[in-house]
Structures are given as structure tokens and as C-alpha cells.
Structure 1
Amino acid sequence: MSSSSRSTPHRNTKAKPLAGRRIAITRAREQAGELSAKLAALGAEVLELPLIKISQSIDKQELADVLLEFGSYDWIVFTSANGVRYFFQEFFRIFDDIRSLGLLRFAAIGAGTAREIEALRLKVECKPKRATGGALAEALIETGSLDNAKVLVITGNLNRDELVQKLEAARAIVDRLQVYKTEQVQLASDEVAHGSAAAGTDSAIADFRARGADCVLFASSSAVTSYADQAASLRLADGAKPPLFGSIGELTTQTLLQRGLPLAFEAREPSLDSLVDALTEKLGN
């Protein structure tokens, strides 16, 4: 892990609002690039601390059961952009024509998830104003189309039950299909625990422990949980700068507070752009 973690300083940043700020981000490595680029463009030094990893995880029998009934579903509901990516990765492995989706209607939990669906030239017919499972359920109920409707909810391994429970209470027939899993990246190796500078490796974790950061940004509850669970491996050295903690939205904030991490700011909307805006408002020059 340490050899591929990155510390990305940005030069010529005197006039930029985050010049001189060290910002740690905790997204999965394959998803960190967009946020890193946004921060670097504003002059920040970015430390990528991938505390979680995301991978495809589909039970083949469950997938076969869903595909046998695919034409009978009224709605397909996506609770994350990861769900969209991994579902369609499997869909296009099996089908060679997007029309195999039939007359399914699409629902998305938020703007980022909707963009992933719309990139496939598919129309999102339901998207709540607040990006939570409860709000998505309420938005679907407001369509008046759920009584005895068949709904397929695409999930990960850590999805909350609120969405499904509310849909079933509205008399929908709900099936769930898990297509990915989120896991903690284990940091407590000997190399990380003792610092890898002596080994000559480029370790953002060792850098964070040695110098700290102005802020740690969290874009998911799972990253907060990983940070809190592995606090010993992230313990700062004497003289390192203790960071503020920033959250992308209310569910992530709830987890921060539950784990005893003080919230410095929360994005107004659950998006990367809004998270960067909130950070800049808090720490910008």
C-alpha cells in the first residue's frame, strides 16, 4: 500500500485559496483521483490515504435468479455510483444490447449516481433532493407507482435497511442484488506501524503520522469507520499537526460523531464539489 500512496504537492500556488494547506483524503485508491485533482488545482498538498477498498462482489445464483425475472421489474434503484458501475459491468458481460433492460424505470440516490446512469444514455426518473436512502424511498413513494410494483435495489455489502423497509411498507415487492463490497484497507503492517521512511518507500501514511495535516476529508461512513478502527496506525507523532475533519453529508457526519471524531464542517450537498467548497470556505486563504 505504502508504495502506491501519494503525496501530491502543487506548485505556483501563491494566489490559490488552499495554498500551503495539507489535505488528506480517504477515498478508495481507484476513486481518489477526481478529488485529488480538484484540491491540487486550488493549491493544496494532497495526501491520499486509501482507508477503504471497493471491489465487485456478486453471488452468481442471486444474479441468475434476478435475470430470470428481469422483465418483470418496474423499477431498478441504485444507491451509489459504485452500484451502477459494477451492475452494468456484469450486465454487459451477459447482454450485448442495452435494450435488454426492457421498460425498467431508473431511480438514483443522488447526483453522482444519476450521472453514472445518464452516461449510458438512460433516463433517471426519480432522484431525491437529499441523498439518503430514506429520502430516496419517499421520492419513489411520491411517484404513486409502488403498490405491488416489483423493485430491484442494487446494493453493496454495507447498505442500510431503511430504503428497503420503507419500500416494502409502501407495498412494493423488493429484491436486493449486491454487486460490490467495501472493505477496510488494513494499515497495521510492520512497515506502516514503524514508519517506512527508513525503508525508502514513498508512504503517505508515514507522512501523515510524521507531519499531520490541516484537514482529513471523508466521503463515506465506511472511511470514517476505518479511520476510527485503525487510529493506532494513524497516531500522529509529537509535533505533527492535528487535522480538522470534514464530511460529505449527514450520514458520514453521523458516523463521525458516533466514533468521537469532532466535525469541523459538512458539505451543503453530498457531492465532491460541495465538499471542496466547504473546505475552501473553512480553510481557504
Structure 2
Amino acid sequence: MNKLTGKRVLVTRPKAQAAALIDRLTALGAEPVIFPTIEISALKDTSLIDQAINQLSAYQWVIFTSVNGVSAFWQRLTALGKGSNAFAGIQVAAIGPATAQALMEKGVQPSFVPDEYVAEALLPGLGEVRGQRVLLPCAEIARKALVEALQNHGALPEEIAIYHTLPSQPDLQALAELEKGVDIATFTSSSTVQNFFALLDGRAFELLKGVVIACIGPITAETAQKLGLTVDIVPKDYTVDGLVEALLKANLR
């Protein structure tokens, strides 16, 4: 027995990325309630990223901020007949262990992974970046904090959107499960929170009344708070494993 045994836990991650969280929760005796609020889709216009890939050697750094960014980038890399050797002589940074692992699985060893898994924590580990070209493959709507920080240090960041997050369309069965009630709601990105509210319109607060709100990191938590939620849990380690560990240690109501 543990604190999650018998708890109904809302999972809002996209289906393709939810397996690890669902498996952890199930192994701990929790009952995952799967209600994906976003879908990840590659952008149709790939001209800008294709141009960047074909000129990859012109960059000193490539920074990946998510697993989605790695996946979408490799789709284009493969389509252009290239592989991991395209990164020869280029330094690569990754935000978070999952992003780093995704790169290693593609044959690229990140030069730097910050201890804190937010964009702002990257800068100290990049060294002197003045005058250096930095490629940031990212979501269509991405935070500007890293770009601004790089610019302030004299770097030449080039942010190129390669995927976007779209509101998911959960089926009626998923909605019915959610309506039965949950004990804990997990949100793993700002988009998962925003689209939960978008999908459920005025019912979001009703469905989350009395529910423990757990966010994977401070940025997601800030988004949830701005939407009017009281965030109960934010792990010190901004990963799925960190989120589950924080749930196990929390005083769950």
C-alpha cells in the first residue's frame, strides 16, 4: 500500500507520450484516468527548418527543449537523407533528461544538460556565446525567455518552429471517465492545462473541485495558477518520475 493506491489520477499528456506515466501510476495501484488534452503535430511548411538542417554546420549550438522537438527535427533530418553525423563539430544542449535520452537514442550525445530543467538554466553551461549562431527547433508557440537571454549575452539565436500543439478531441468514453471524478489531476506542460480549460469550457473548475493539482514544473504551475487553479504539488525534479515521487510524498487529501 502507498498513498496512490486506489487513487484516480487524471493524465492529460498526449497519447503518444503518456505510457510512462500511466505505467508508473498503474504499478503503484493508482487508476489512471486518461484524458489527453493536446496532440502534437509537425508543421506542414518545413522550408525554414529544412534550410537550417542543410546549413547545420553554420551553427555553433543546437538547443533542444523537448522530446517533441527532437522527434520533429529527426523527421526532417531523415527526409533530407541525413543522420546524426550531421551534428559533427556542433555542440548540442538538451533541457531535461527525457530530451537528452531522446537525443542519445538518435546517436547524439548532448554536450550539456542543465541541472534545472527550464530554459533559463541552460545559459551558464553554454560558456561564451557572443557572436555564436544558436539554432532552437521549437513549438510554434514557445516561451521567449531563452531567446531573449541568448540575445542579451550577444548570441545570435534562430528560433524555428517545427511542430505545434493542438487541442485534442477526447472521445465520449474518456469524458465519461473524467465525469466520474478524480482524486488527482496531473499537468505536464502549460498546453495541457490551457487546453483542458479550452476543451471543457466552463466545466473545468467543476470537474477539478476538491482535486489535488500536480504540475510537472514551475512554468506549468504558473499557467495553472493564472487560470485560477490552486497548485498543490510541484516536484523538485521536473520529470514524470519526479512528479510521481512528489505524489507519493505528498499529504494527499
* TM-score of the superposed pair, with normalisation by structure 1: 0.82
Q: 1:247 to 1:235 in 2, by over 3 A?
A: closer
Which among 254, 276, 279 is matched to residue 244 of structure 2?
276
User: Given the alignment of the two structures, is residue 165 of structure 1 paired with residue 157 of structure 2, yes or no?
Assistant: no
* RMSD (CA atoms): 2.2
User: Given the alignment of the two structures, is residue 37 of structure 1 paired with residue 23 of structure 2, yes or no?
Assistant: yes
Match for residue 191 of structure 2? Answer: 222
How many Å separate the matches in 1 of 2:116 and 2:53? 31
How many Å separate the matches in 1 of 2:7 and 2:25? 10
How many Å separate the matches in 2 of 1:23 and 1:90? 36
Alignment of 1:36-75 (within 5 A): 36-57=22-43, 59-75=45-61
Q: Would you say the 8 A contact 1:77–1:151 is kept in 2?
A: yes
SS in 2 for 1:124: coil
Match for residue 207 of structure 1? Answer: 177
4+ residue runs over 3 A deviation: 233-237
SS in 2 for 1:92: helix
SS in 2 for 1:130: coil
Which among 231, 237, 242 is matched to residue 263 of structure 1?
231
How many Å separate the matches in 2 of 1:204 and 1:23? 13
SS in 1 for 2:63: strand
How many Å separate the matches in 2 of 1:130 and 1:16? 28
How many Å separate the matches in 1 of 2:74 and 2:114? 22
User: Given the alignment of the two structures, is residue 151 of structure 1 paired with residue 134 of structure 2, yes or no?
Assistant: yes
Q: 1:269 to 1:97 in 2, by over 3 A?
A: closer
Q: 1:64 to 1:84 in 2, by over 3 A?
A: closer
- Unpaired segments ≥5 residues, structure 1: 1-14, 197-202
SS in 2 for 1:88: helix
- Unpaired segments ≥5 residues, structure 2: none
Q: 1:174 to 1:91 in 2, by over 3 A?
A: same
How many Å separate the matches in 1 of 2:175 and 2:220? 22
Give how far 1:42 is off: 0.1
* TM-score of the superposed pair, with normalisation by structure 2: 0.91
Q: Which amino acid aligns with 2:223?
A: T
Q: Which amino acid aligns with 2:212?
A: L
Which among 117, 125, 128 is matched to residue 139 of structure 1?
125
How many Å separate the matches in 2 of 1:53 and 1:154? 18
Q: Which amino acid aligns with 1:119?
A: E
Percent identity between matched residues is 28
How many Å separate the matches in 1 of 2:204 and 2:225? 18
